[in-house]
């Protein structure tokens, strides 16, 4: 059942904890005044409020919350209402030990922190259901309330007996017979054969930890458990009568969960973005953040919400640097440029104590509005109003990069050529960056995503191929798509079991090559890709490769580049084969970023990918959002110098300067009829 | 009840473990011969002797100890008698598990090591009381015995149920009501509200570990528990009839306890000093050791004892370097120069086995007196006799640096701008070094210390202000004192709860500035302080700052230096305001050491601090000890080259060369009538 | 009872896991075809097969194994049969918890991994005995079976109550009375005296961990427990009727066991060799591997088996690099050159799943024989057939280097001058390398080894002297041997108790020197050894020393080199004394490798050590194997350039090129009548 998202302006605001200030009505009043001044129209309340909402078991206290919501609403400020399950009250942990997690060593955690409840515990599920339902009954139809924010930043896992039992049930449902599981998991190795499902235990540093298929299924189970918990909370909300949309705030490149599994259980995706601006050059950080925005957007292939971001400096990184003037505005608009319909913060007012008291906030301990941060937040609010018409517009991409969480899990857990670092994310990002340098909208997809939308798909280090994935890739190319494969691909199936008879599995004929060996390089070593004269892409540069060099045997493919050194000098580094109506490329080594800019730039042209600008200067980020009739162009200069960005004449400026000379951190939003 | 310290010469000697050699009377006899040769007049015995003193429960065996004490005394050697509580016999741990500590993960430690008993266990307290009382009865009036050495190097903490119960009692006494505690601790954050004191548990990596106020109170409790244990041991000694003074040997910059709380329970402060000489330039090490001497001296503002030091190389550092010739003598006399009335060693004779068998000793395994170490120890003994008249003289300081342990705890635990390292100690030491370069006696004080003694007080990174501390500082300046404040000051109260309405709390008007933001720098970044032309101190140098740069807003102050780079170029780095009869300076960034030498040198002059020498060459350390009539001047050359040190003509040489040209590691002690 | 080794060709083959492919008869058939092609004549089966051999308690299933063995034997391939005790089935761990180990923190491990069973558990011993006996009954007289491979890579330790009880029994047997133990262990230190053996517990990070004698005896006990377990398995095999020889595969420089204790319980020594070729220059790796070969050979002073090696790249190192062409052949023949009678691999066919699926194998997942690896394995098979006559020939060494595991344990556990790293192995290897550079066969011996075979014995960093060891060394020199001692020698006895009255214990008169102090250097510091003009060895070079510099006092010795810097400039670095008919040298500092090549080269000449070649070029390795009549010369070029190696004219070429110009990685085997 699709829930209608009913806001009609960009959401601007964020996490707000009035329960910390109930004894300070003067401050609560001042907050509203400040919110309005800063163009804040939305607050998220209730995250971590359980101890105030239910101070003793069964004694509920919602009146304060209603008053807060009403007071805000009177001033035009809406509420995103959170369920409080992210942290439970002390009385509950004391009375019902099972609500607390067990670690992998099978010892139970004590009360403390947050996000550390058992997802299986019947008691916890019952308590959560009850309070969620009551919140839904009380606030689920309140005109101020926009949507439900389920719990907070789901993550972690529990190894308690209840979860073990669930895991066994889950495995039995998946494998049906223990023989099937043994065969899929290759348990004959080291005599780890199971006689029955009852014998299976979750991975542990003190026990089984090298049976990759077990670890992989455990991670899948954890995702499914979490999803089931979200569904449980959603059911409680529905049981309380509210049909408002639900979301959960996801996290940056979090590898504890496979977010693609949340596609159908969240009505809208939201996430929390905390880039470390100014640690590296801003453009590098922008690429990194942009890729996460695109990953989140690609889950549902729809606009998302930026649920949290920091209006100032965080307090939980090793070094928490101030954002330089203009950085906050540029970062906020980058979210919108990549598909966000909101700019929300953690947090509106700084808490007075505990672990996040120095985390940046719109209103700090000083408590005035005459601060740089308050001014820059206000600018964001004003900008969002100026570009209001872009709200809800979509992003359509012709290119996609495969970055699959299951592949990430399997690849990292496998003991292979480099156990120090396989550089998976870095490689994905090098390819993403190359496409973004061209100004292509780019999706970040999983193995489950359909491919027929795209002209170009790159699948770097696709170590694991789900059953049927090779065929999906072949069909994509057959029908005219351009497919870029790489080393360390197609080695194992869903259970991390090696494919026999040649890799990349199912693609050796299509690509015209077969992998023979893979060399791991020490960090101080490198090799080079030397272009073949007359290669059809016209590549002429020599590029460095590091870390991993595959030795592949060509059966039927054009060799575009070859290794320059070592005993495999002359072996192919880059090959190409026409396949059906499309192309298949194979990159055999971990090439430097410049190679991908050169190579994928040419490939994108060959694949006839449309880009909004003929030329994108270095450090500039370009994306488009579209409605059926209008194309919106977002141009942002993340370089440290002024850049001249020429835009087609039919674009008119919606936001930002008229001039094509963009100073560092400037943003322009333009539009044209389609 | 003040105990009389009854020695009339510098104590020279140290830890002695004759119980390890009871089967070797020849060696015990040889020891005495060697002690006399090396001018050793004092031994510490009984540390870790419990298993010999009470080999089975209730069976006491003190005769051997009496014989040792008597034999030594016959030869003029006195005894410092230790209580044996630092390590318990195996039979006790086996029979009474509760005497062993529980770790923060609530698992009990096994028998082993030392210093790992529960401070609460009634059994342990009873056993300790009994043996201490019996030792007191037997030896407490023995003419050889100088004082009591309570246990050994107190430290660590216990999380057992008995300690948890005590912690709850302690909290209840402090906060009276749970509402008061909740409010002080800001437990609303993450729903950590307590319904009653019974719900509270000590911090744990497996449970609550981010509620800073809890952690802070737990650390205070641990100090109080330890103090209570010391009082318990003292009571046993008094119950046994001995009225001799008690001490406990403290440790270098130990952050597990707040030593200032021991001021009233120890009759004399003593500590164990093990500098890593020759790792850095000797002067840097001397500053570091000197600051600790001054910290220990400042606890009671009275002479202290150097209870342990190494006559040769230690065996527990990563690299245990030999001391070069002359280093041992210089290091020993440095202790005296800073207020010690003793030079004591760990250890007199090397043990033949176990973990400290290679720790340096006056007599090593070889067993002869024809060693370099023995000769250098003898030189110390001779020197102490030469300067005997300085014994008991005091150190009067006109300058003090605030280095508060509670502040250190809170500052480190808080998640703030830099979680990697805030460099608190380094900053304190940079200021201390600058004052010592001038030749100022300098106290190292806590927030509890009275300030009316001083002309100049620096309070670097005083993150926590006890309630009333701002007023104390204001009063100091009002009455004519010079106060040097810095960035990251006055942010929180005693419970780590943020002050609202501007920082440094209570001083924004007095200092004429208010903090707006603080920038954290990566290790590879830096900024600069550029002097303002015509600043009243006459500073002309440009200095580097790193790590932390505060952005402050001036309301009413002279700006002496400004930032040279970044978006806050031009913001103040150093300000000054006349306040009452005094001055308030504010340093906004983590400045390099050279800045403090320049700045505090000028400030000390402005504050009219009296120093004994007009000029102190680099690498030379100068202190004064005084009686009512006489001023003793200690001059030590820690530079690696000869230094010429001109001394006022009315000083006469008590020890060392006549010449003003001091070779490296030379010491001169001089005196004059006042 | 000596078991006859009955193979008459070099064993070529290795670990084979057909139980992973029982559902793939096509693959099992293909395997045999490939084995024959690659000259593979031996497989090791049964390692980790327990779950297939006894899928349920008491239900044995050996038929598949018999079929495999028979099928292989029909094609001329022999079997090394493993006992399955390296990993137990899940049902056993579930039913009998005691078979699983307890960690040092006294928590039991869960099922998982391998090599983690209790060596004491009566249940485990009974289960192992039963299956071993049955395997022996069924296969112990099978003509295909060559020998028994007991378990796999023994290691680790168990702290369960059963092991604790055994440990106490072991200690009681060793020390008889608790007083004797207390005195030997120096338990008076820190009051750790035991009243009875029942009080003793194994070392633990949560308990006793600084009583070195306890730790040392615990390590000895672990070795004895393991040996006892091997004897238990051997007894089961004998009970089953098989009198075939037994071996166990040992590991590279494994410090968890004292392998010399296995001398009498293994009929033949075997080990697993996985050098990290191409990480450093090949010669350095060859020296490292060669030293381990010599260590393994020296255990029984007899030929050994290379039980495992990798035909390609491993998968468990941080970086798993490919072997360049020719490396595999050179590494395989190096084993033979140092005394191996086999080249065996882990593994013949790659497993399809679990943790070692990417470990190199003769047959990989691709499954073809048209691979580089398969070709290079085949070359090894051919080479072994060419040099078949060298099989069983022995290595006689005139030089030996002491590298004692007990010394290693004691030296590392002791807290001494450098706790970061004493560089023990590096020093041993520097001396070994110097002797190998001369082309000397070199034994790697323990304190138990007899010395009368040798002309030259070096004993670097012999921290521990067993009672009587000083006398053994003296006697060696007295009778004409050349003894090279070094710093940090002869400090403690078997229980890590310091010798009194001067070190090196028992040798101060013989060597004419006595140690006074030892200086530890930081990593950035160095000193130099300056040669004395006219020293009798004719050393003229100045050499660097680092890490440790001893200050020794000469009573009666020639000083050949002296320190160039620091306060001990002029103190001796190298001394010599004629002693009886022999020589005693003393090296006081951690000298660089070049020093040892110079010094030991001269000493070897002085000691009249016979070497096969007048000159060995850098990077070339030379060894000899001999029968009563014939001398075989192995020459290998591990340099990265061609080397000319002149060989006496009476040698004829058995394998390799005729020319004296050897390309990198080339091997020549030559022979001559004696």
Residues of A in contact with C16 (CB under 8 A): none
Question: Are C498 and B350 within 8 A, CB to CB?
Answer: yes
Contacts of A418 in chain C (CB under 8 A): 318-320
How many helical (H) and strand (E) elements, i.e. helices and strands, does chain B have?
Answer: 16, 26
Which residue of chain A has the CA closest to B184? Answer: A353
User: Which of B185, B192, B551 is most worth mutating to test chain A (most A CB atoms within 10 A of its CB)?
Assistant: B192
Q: Which residue of B has its CA nearest to A276?
A: B522
Start-end of CATH 3.20.20.80 domains in chain A: 11-86+120-155+225-390
DSSP secondary structure string for all residues of B413-438: HS--SBSS---HHHHHHHHHHHHHHT
Tokens of B671: 């005196």
CA atoms within 13 A on the CB side of B553: 13
Q: Which of B204, B417, B516 sits opposite A313 (nearest CB)?
A: B417
**Which among C88, C103, C351 has the least Cβ separation from residue A191?**
C88
User: What is residue B41's DSSP assignment?
Assistant: -
| CATH 3.40.50.880-classified regions of chain A | 399-606
Residue B670 CA to residue B651 CA, distance in Å, equals 6
Our separate counts of H helices and E strands in chain A read 16, 26
* Residue that the structure tokens 């004219």 belong to: C649
Name the CATH superfamily housing domain A11-86+120-155+225-390: Glycosidases (3.20.20.80)
Report the largest interatomic distance among the alpha carbons of chain C, rounded to a whole angstrom. 79
From chain A, pick out residues whose CB is under 8 angstroms from the CB of B209.
112-113
Supply the DSSP symbol for B108: B
Min Cα distance C285 → chain B (Å) is 29
- Counting one residue from A and one from C, how many pairs have CB atoms under 8 Å apart? 167
A55, A111, A354 ranked by CB distance to B189: nearest: A354
Q: How far apart are CA B451 and CA B465, in angstroms?
A: 15
Which H helix or E strand runs over A644?
A: strand A643-644
- pLDDT of A1 > 80? The answer is no
Give the active site residues of A.
153, 308
For C125-138, give one letter per residue: b (16+ CB within 10 A) or e: bebbbbbbbbbbeb
CA atoms within 13 A on the CB side of C162: 19
Region of residue A412 (phi > 0: left; psi between -120 and 50: alpha; otherwise: beta): alpha
Q: Tokens at residue A564, please?
A: 């320059």
Answer yes or no: do B418 and A320 touch at CB < 8 A.
yes
What residues of chain A lie within 8 A of the CB of B506, using their CB? Answer: none
Average pLDDT over residues A279-303: 98
Determine the residue among B106, B180, B189, B520 to mutate to test chain A binding: the one whose Cβ has the most chain A Cβ atoms within 10 Å.
B189
pLDDT score for C8: 87
pLDDT above 50: residue B2? no
- Residue of chain B whose alpha carbon sits nearest to that of C193: B51
Q: Is A134 exposed, middle or buried (0-12, 13-18, 19+ CB in 10 A)?
A: middle
Among residues of chain A, what percentage have pLDDT more than 70?
99
Q: Looking at beta carbons, which residues of chain C come within 8 Å of B112?
A: 192, 204, 206-211
| Pair A597, A591: CB distance under 8 Å | no
Residue where the block lists tokens 């707000």: A16
Least Cα separation, residue C544 to chain B (angstroms): 18
| Residue A128 dihedral angles phi and psi, to the nearest 5° | -65, -45
pTM for the whole structure: 0.96
Distance, CA of B251 to CA of A332 (rounded, Å) = 51
Instruction: Specify the pLDDT at position B233.
Output: 98
Among C106, C189, C207, beta carbon nearest to B353: C189
Cα B298 from Cα B318, distance rounded (Å): 31
Q: Which of A415, A497, A551 sits opposite C315 (nearest CB)?
A: A415
Instruction: To the nearest 10°, report the CA torsion of C616, C619, C621, C622.
Output: -10
Residues paired with A45 in a beta bridge: A81
With contacts defined as CB-CB under 8 Å, which chain C residues touch B88? Answer: 191
Q: Is the per-residue pLDDT at A388 higher than 90?
A: yes
CA distance B367 to chain C (A): 6
Superfamily of domain B49-245: Glycosidases (3.20.20.80)
- Please list the residue range(s) of chain B that carry CATH number 2.60.40.1180: 620-673
Place of tokens 């322009």: A668
Question: What angle, 0 to 180 degrees and rounded to 10, lies between the N-to-C axes of helices B405-413 and B212-239?
Answer: 150
- Which residues of chain A neighbour C367 with C-beta distances below 8 Å? 500-501
A: neighbours with 3+ CB pairs under 8 Å? B, C
Q: Is the pLDDT of residue B145 over 70?
A: yes
Which residue of B194, B415, B517 is in closest CB contact with A355?
B415
Quick one: CA torsion of C117, C121, C126, C131, rounded to 10 degrees?
Answer: 0
- What is the distance between the alpha carbons of residues B99 and B163, in angstroms, rounded to a whole number? 11
Closest residue of chain A to C152, computed from CA coordinates: A190
Residue C273: is the preceding peptide bond cis (ω within 30°)? no
pLDDT of residue C573: 98
**C-beta separation of C311 from C377 below 8 A:** yes
Residues 6+ apart with CB under 8 A from B412: B255, B422, B424
Burial of C26 (0-12, 13-18, 19+ CB in 10 A): exposed
How close does chain C come to A251, measured CA to CA in Å? 29
User: Distance between CA atoms of C48 and C114, rounded to whole angstroms?
Assistant: 9
Distance from CA of residue A477 to its chain's centroid?
A: 27
**ipTM of this complex:** 0.95
Task: List active site positions of B.
Answer: 153, 308
Residue in the block written with tokens 């649920």: A307
- What residue ranges in C362-512 does DSSP mark as E strands? 399-402, 442-445, 456-459, 482-486
The residue-averaged pLDDT of B370-383 equals 98
* Radius of gyration of the CA atoms of chain A, in A: 26
Question: Helix (H, G, I), strand (E, B), or coil: what is residue B255?
Answer: coil
Q: Tokens at residue B171, please?
A: 């909290």
Looking at residue C1, its pLDDT comes to 38
pLDDT value for C6:
66
Task: Determine whether the interchain pair B209/A17 forms a contact, defined as Cβ–Cβ distance below 8 Å.
Answer: no
pLDDT tops 50 at residue A2: no
**pLDDT > 70: percent of chain B:** 99
Fold of C399-606: Rossmann fold (3.40.50)
Do C516 and B372 make contact, defined as CB atoms within 8 angstroms? yes
Cα distances from A624 to residues A230, A392, A442, C163, C347, in angstroms, run: 33, 13, 11, 70, 55
What would the mean pLDDT of B562-586 be, rounded to a whole number? Answer: 98
Q: What is the largest CA-CA distance in chain B?
A: 79
For B49, nearest residue in chain C (alpha carbons) = C191
| Total CB pairs under 8 A between chain A and B | 169
* Residues of C taking part in catalysis: 153, 308
> DSSP code of B368?
-
Side-chain half-sphere of A40: how many Cα atoms within 13 Å? 31
Residue-wise pLDDT tens digits, B187-233: 999 999 999 999 999 999 999 999 999 999 999 999 999 999 999 99
Do A87 and A111 form a contact (C-beta atoms < 8 A)?
Answer: no
Distance CA A380, CA A11 (A): 11
Best residue in C164, C183, C189 for a mutation probing chain B (most B CBs within 10 Å): C189
Q: What are phi and psi of B221, to 5 degrees?
A: -60, -45
Q: Do C500 and B365 touch (CB under 8 A)?
A: yes
C-alpha closest to that of C518 among C558, C465, C571: C571
Residues of chain C with CATH 3.20.20.80: 12-89+119-154+245-387
User: How close, in Å, is residue B94 to chain C by CA atoms?
Assistant: 8
SS3 label, residue A421: coil
Residue from the list A189, A516, A517 with its beta carbon closest to the beta carbon of C354? A189
Q: Could you list the mean pLDDT of each consecutive 10-residue stretch along chain C, which spans 674 residues?
A: 67 98 97 98 98 97 98 97 97 97 97 94 98 98 96 98 98 98 96 97 96 97 98 98 97 98 97 98 98 98 97 96 98 98 98 96 97 98 98 97 98 95 97 97 98 97 98 98 98 98 97 98 98 98 98 98 98 98 98 98 97 96 97 98 96 96 98 95
Q: What is the structure's pLDDT at C5?
A: 67
Q: pLDDT (tens digit, 9 = 90+) per residue, A432-457?
A: 999 999 999 999 999 999 999 999 99
Contact B415 A51 (CB under 8 A): no
Distance CA B89, CA B91 (A): 5
For C650, counting Cβ atoms within 10 Å of its Cβ (0-12 exposed, 13-18 middle, 19+ buried), the class is exposed
Cα nearest neighbour of C320 on chain A: A417
Q: Looking at chain B, which residues constitute the CATH 3.20.20.80 domain(s)?
A: 49-245
| Strand boundaries in B124-218, DSSP class E | 145-149
Give the number of beta-carbon pairs within 8 Å between B and C: 168
Pairing of strands C456-459, C482-486: parallel
Residues A356, B189: C-beta atoms closer than 8 Å: yes
- For residue B114, give both structure tokens: 């030392």
Whole-number pLDDT of residue C4: 52
What CATH superfamily is the domain A620-673?
Answer: Golgi alpha-mannosidase II (2.60.40.1180)
Q: Is domain C12-89+119-154+245-387 annotated with CATH 3.20.20.80? A: yes
């Amino acid at each position: 059942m699709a829930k209608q998202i009913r806001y009609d302006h960009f959401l601007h605001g964020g996490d707000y904890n009035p329960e910390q200030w109930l004894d300070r009505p003067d401050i609560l009043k001042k907050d509203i005044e400040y919110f309005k001044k800063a163009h804040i129209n939305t607050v998220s309340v209730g995250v971590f409020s359980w101890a105030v909402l239910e101070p003793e078991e069964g004694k509920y206290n919602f009146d304060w919350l209603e008053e807060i919501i009403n007071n805000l609403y009177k001033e035009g400020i809406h509420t995103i209402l959170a369920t409080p399950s992210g942290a439970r009250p002390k009385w509950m942990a004391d009375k019902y030990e099972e609500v607390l997690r067990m670690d992998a060593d099978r010892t139970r955690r004590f009360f403390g922190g947050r996000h550390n409840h058992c997802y299986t515990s019947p008691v916890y599920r019952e308590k959560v259901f009850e309070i969620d339902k009551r919140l839904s009954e009380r606030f689920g139809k309140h005109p101020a309330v926009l949507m439900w924010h389920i719990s907070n930043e789901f993550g972690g896992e529990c190894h308690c007996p209840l979860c073990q039992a669930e895991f066994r049930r889950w495995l039995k449902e998946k494998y049906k017979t223990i023989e099937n599981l043994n065969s899929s998991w290759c348990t004959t190795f080291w005599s780890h054969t199971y006689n029955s499902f009852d014998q299976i235990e979750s991975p542990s540093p003190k026990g089984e930890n090298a049976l990759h298929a077990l670890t992989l299924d455990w991670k899948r189970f954890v995702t499914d458990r979490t999803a089931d918990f979200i569904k449980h909370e959603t059911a409680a909300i529905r049981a309380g009568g509210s049909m408002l949309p639900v979301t959960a705030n996801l996290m940056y490149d979090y590898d504890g969960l496979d977010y693609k599994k949340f596609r159908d259980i969240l009505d809208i995706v939201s996430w929390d973005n905390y880039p470390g601006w100014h640690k590296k050059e801003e453009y590098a950080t922008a690429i990194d953040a942009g890729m996460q925005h695109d990953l989140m957007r690609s889950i549902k292939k729809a606009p998302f919400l930026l649920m949290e971001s920091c209006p100032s400096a965080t307090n939980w990184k090793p070094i928490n640097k101030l954002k330089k003037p203009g950085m906050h505005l540029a970062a906020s608009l980058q979210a919108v440029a990549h598909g966000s319909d909101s700019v929300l913060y953690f947090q509106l007012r700084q808490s007075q104590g505990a672990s996040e008291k120095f985390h940046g906030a719109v209103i700090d301990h000083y408590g005035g509005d005459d601060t740089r941060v308050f001014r820059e937040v206000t600018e964001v609010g004003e900008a969002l109003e100026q570009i209001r018409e872009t709200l809800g517009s979509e992003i359509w991409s012709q290119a996609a990069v495969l970055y699959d969480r299951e592949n990430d899990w399997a690849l990292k857990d496998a003991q292979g050529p480099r156990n120090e670092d396989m550089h998976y994310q870095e490689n994905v990002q090098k390819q993403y960056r190359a496409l973004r340098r061209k100004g292509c909208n780019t999706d970040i997809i999983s193995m489950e995503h359909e491919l027929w939308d795209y002209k170009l798909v790159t699948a770097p280090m696709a170590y694991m191929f789900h059953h049927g994935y090779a065929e999906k890739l072949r069909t994509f190319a057959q029908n005219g798509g351009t497919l870029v494969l790489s080393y360390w691909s197609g080695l194992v199936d869903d259970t991390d079991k090696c494919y026999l008879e040649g890799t990349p599995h199912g693609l050796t004929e299509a690509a015209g090559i077969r992998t023979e060996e893979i060399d791991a390089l020490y960090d101080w070593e490198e090799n080079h890709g030397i272009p073949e004269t007359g290669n059809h892409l016209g590549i002429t540069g020599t590029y460095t490769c590091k870390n991993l060099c595959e030795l592949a045997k060509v059966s039927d493919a054009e060799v575009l580049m070859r290794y320059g050194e070592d005993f495999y000098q002359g072996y192919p580094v880059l090959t190409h084969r026409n396949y059906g109506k499309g192309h298949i490329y194979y990159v055999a080594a971990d090439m430097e970023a410049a190679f991908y800019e050169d190579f994928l730039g040419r490939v994108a042209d060959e694949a006839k990918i449309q880009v909004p600008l003929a030329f994108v200067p270095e450090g500039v980020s370009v994306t488009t959002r579209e409605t059926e009739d209008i194309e919106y162009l977002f141009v942002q200069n993340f370089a440290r110098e002024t850049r001249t960005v020429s835009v087609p004449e039919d674009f008119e400026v919606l936001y930002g300067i008229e001039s094509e000379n963009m100073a560092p951190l400037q943003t322009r939003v333009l539009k044209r009829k389609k």
